[in-house]
């Protein structure tokens, strides 16, 4: 790393270690087999598997900041099999066979991340303790029952219902009345994973150019990447910039960047941990529309994340995203509501990042075969393991291999474009405010959301 204050950006970046191979200036003209824009999980997994499939290939990765600077080095560290579309929705749209196959691949991706981390010696605190979807009070009873009904139909030893007492044996959350346990989820240190993966790409022969921003991607034979320093030509260009894709020319309405914010406590004393329990370090979330997610970190802190920060007009991504003290204060208050024992405990870190949301919430890989460009992303906040599946699939597409993954429904799926401004801002802000109000009302009254507000209807649609 480079002495910059990454504590102000993300605890994970501050504590990830791992410097990459130092490189001189990018030459004015560079030619390679595959060039990747963006050194987050998507770009790095793609490079990693490409070099595994074809060890002789020349693979160049360009990163505007440092590898892992985006969502990959800032997230909640849930490595889960969750996907923004439920299996039933996928089945209705793409058929039950493909829906099942996609679910199975997502399931396997969680273990694959752990397997590669082990094989590459990446000490990223991977711990497969599952995830608990928690009903925080009577207002979530109906949602809990609904999910219990849905998961009962899942094959195999899948999710199971924990009643109030069974939940309290695992973790004691104020007022919680039960949870659904999803076993296929691990917590991890995303900073160590992403930087360790970057080193693994270098060990396999890939080159990573940090602080090198792509200014344009042009399809063609060869495809081209323009940068401030020069042009790179490649047989295949992979665009792996996720939420930042919205900042590239011609791509503004592909997806919107939504901000997710995290606050982190100091390491908690034993007395606090014995009051809370949570020995299994399960990943925790609730049924609130406005999204909350928690991790017990390996060094004994509580990470509390949520999506309260407002969407910015024109899909702007402000440089000072991590300094939004209002959202951080709201999250701290929520964390104390979950665990009143946190009382005087200090929150030592707070930061934010952006995740990419396509108009139909469907992550995708768009492969322009004639123009040699592959664009991957749009994970709607469930990307830590899905990027692994997508990276593997991108690698297979780039070398022209046809596998069980390259036929999955996210390949060549085209999401509709977002509306132009000011409609986009009006719509997204309306939804954010509406869903937050629904959560607040439900908590105040203890009654479940009616499902009849406009915001809820649009959300469910
Ligand atoms: C706060 C937060 C919490 C989250 N929590 C979870 C979680 O717990 N579990 C989960 O599954 N998912 C979570 N996510 C989502 C997950 O982190 C992302 O889906 C995933 O990291 C996306 O990886 P990526 O490589 O596609 O994108 P990114 O990690 O965003 O990488 C894109 C990279 O491209 C670079 N870049 C951008 N523009 C250019 C350019 N023009 N030229 C060169 N480089 C460029 C950026 O600097 C960045 O490093 C969270 C996201 C956020 C923001």
Helix axis angle for 87-94 and 96-119, nearest 10°, is 130
In terms of pLDDT, which residue wins out, 403 or 4?
403
The DSSP H or E segment spanning 113 is helix 96-119
* pLDDT exceeds cutoff 70 at 157: no
**Closest ligand 1 atom to 351 CA:** 1
In this structure, are residues 107 and 253 in contact, taking their beta carbons and an 8 Å threshold? no
Over residues 324-337, the mean pLDDT reads: 95
Least Cα distance to 8 among 286, 257, 247, 352 occurs for: 352
Report pLDDT digits (tens) over 172-184: 999 999 999 999 9
pLDDT at 196: 97
Say yes or no: CB of residue 60 within 6 Å of ligand 1.
no
What are 72-84's pLDDT values in tens digits?
999 999 999 999 9
Spacing, Cα 241 to ligand 1 middle (Å): 7
Cis peptide before 34 (omega within 30 of 0): no
d(CA 43, CA 207): 12
What local confidence, expressed as pLDDT, does residue 31 receive? 96
In this model, does residue 154 exceed pLDDT 80?
no
Contact 44, 197 (CB under 8 A): yes
3-state secondary structure of 236: strand
What band does 8 get if pLDDT is binned at 50, 70 and 90?
Answer: confident
Residues of the chain with CATH 3.30.9.10: 131-183+257-355
pLDDT for the residue numbered 156:
64
Structure tokens at 222: 């060869």
pLDDT for the residue 2: 61
Q: Taking 80 as the threshold, does the pLDDT of residue 461 lie above it?
A: no
What CA–CA distance (Å, rounded) separates 225 from 219? Answer: 9
CA distance 382 to 11: 20
Structurally, at CATH architecture level, domain 1-127+188-256+363-418 sits in 3-Layer(bba) Sandwich (3.50)
- 87-124 pLDDT, tens per residue? 999 999 999 999 999 999 999 999 999 999 999 999 99
Planar angle of CA 95, 101, 102, nearest 5 degrees: 90
pLDDT exceeds cutoff 90 at 70: yes
Mean pLDDT is lowest, of 17-26, 104-113, 165-174, for 17-26
Element spanning 427, H or E = helix 423-445
Site to probe by mutation for ligand 1, drawn from 75, 80, 357 as the one with most ligand atoms within 8 Å of Cβ, is: 75
What stretches of 211-360 adopt beta strand conformation (E)? 214-218, 223-227, 231-239, 255-265, 283-286, 292-296, 302-306, 347-358
Q: What is the pLDDT of residue 308?
A: 81
What's the predicted TM-score (pTM) here? 0.97
Other CB atoms within 10 A of residue 426 CB: 12
Residue 241 in contact with ligand 1 by CB distance below 6 A: yes
In which residue ranges of the chain is CATH 3.50.50.60 found? Answer: 1-127+188-256+363-418
CATH architecture assignment, domain 131-183+257-355: 2-Layer Sandwich (3.30)
Distance CA 123, CA 120 (A): 9
Question: What is the chain's Cα-based Rg?
Answer: 21
Contact 228, 216 (CB under 8 A): no
Q: Output the residue whose Cα is nearest ligand 1's atom 48.
A: 70
């Amino acid at each position: 790393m480079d002495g910059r204050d990454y504590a102000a950006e993300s605890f994970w970046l501050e504590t990830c270690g791992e410097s990459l191979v130092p490189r001189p200036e990018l030459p004015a003209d560079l030619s390679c087999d595959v060039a990747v824009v963006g050194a987050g999980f998507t770009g790095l997994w793609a490079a990693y598997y490409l070099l595994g499939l074809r060890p002789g290939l020349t693979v160049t990765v360009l990163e505007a900041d440092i590898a892992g600077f985006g969502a990959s080095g800032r997230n909640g560290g849930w490595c889960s099999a969750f996907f923004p579309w439920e299996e039933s929705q996928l089945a209705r749209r793409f058929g039950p066979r493909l829906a099942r196959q996609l679910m199975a691949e997502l399931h396997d991706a969680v273990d694959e991340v752990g397997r590669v981390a082990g094989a590459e010696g990446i000490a990223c605190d991977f711990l497969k303790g599952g995830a608990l979807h928690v009903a925080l009070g009577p207002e979530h009873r109906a949602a809990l029952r609904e999910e219990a009904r849905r998961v009962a139909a899942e094959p195999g030893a899948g999710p199971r219902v924990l009643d109030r007492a069974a939940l309290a044996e695992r973790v004691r959350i104020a007022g919680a009345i039960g949870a659904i346990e999803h076993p296929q989820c691990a917590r991890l240190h995303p900073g160590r994973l992403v930087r360790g993966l970057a080193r693994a790409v270098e060990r396999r022969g890939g080159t990573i150019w940090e602080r090198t921003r792509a200014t344009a991607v042009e399809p063609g034979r060869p495809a081209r990447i323009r940068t401030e320093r020069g042009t790179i030509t490649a047989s295949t260009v992979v665009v792996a910039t996720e939420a930042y894709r919205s900042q590239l020319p011609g791509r503004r309405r592909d997806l919107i960047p939504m901000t997710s914010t995290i606050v982190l406590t100091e390491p908690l004393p034993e007395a606090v941990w014995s009051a809370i329990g949570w020995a299994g370090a399960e990943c925790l979330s609730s049924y609130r529309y406005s999204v909350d997610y928690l991790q017990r970190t390996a060094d004994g802190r509580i990470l509390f994340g949520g999506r309260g920060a407002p969407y910015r007009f024109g899909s702007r991504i402000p440089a000072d995203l991590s300094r939004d003290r209002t959202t951080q204060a709201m999250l701290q208050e929520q964390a104390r509501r979950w665990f009143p024992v946190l009382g005087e405990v200090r929150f030592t870190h707070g930061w934010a990042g952006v995740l990419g949301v396509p108009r139909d919430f469907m992550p995708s890989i768009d492969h322009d075969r004639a123009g040699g460009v592959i664009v991957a992303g749009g994970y709607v906040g469930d990307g830590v393991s899905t990027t692994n599946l997508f990276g593997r699939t991108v690698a297979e597409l780039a070398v022209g291999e046809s596998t069980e993954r390259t036929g999955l429904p996210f390949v060549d799926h085209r999401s509709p474009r977002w509306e132009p401004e000011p409609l986009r801002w009006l719509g997204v802000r309306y939804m954010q405010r509406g869903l937050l109000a629904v959560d607040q009302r439900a908590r105040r009254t203890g009654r479940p959301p009616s499902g009849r507000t406009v915001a809820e209807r649009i959300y469910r649609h």
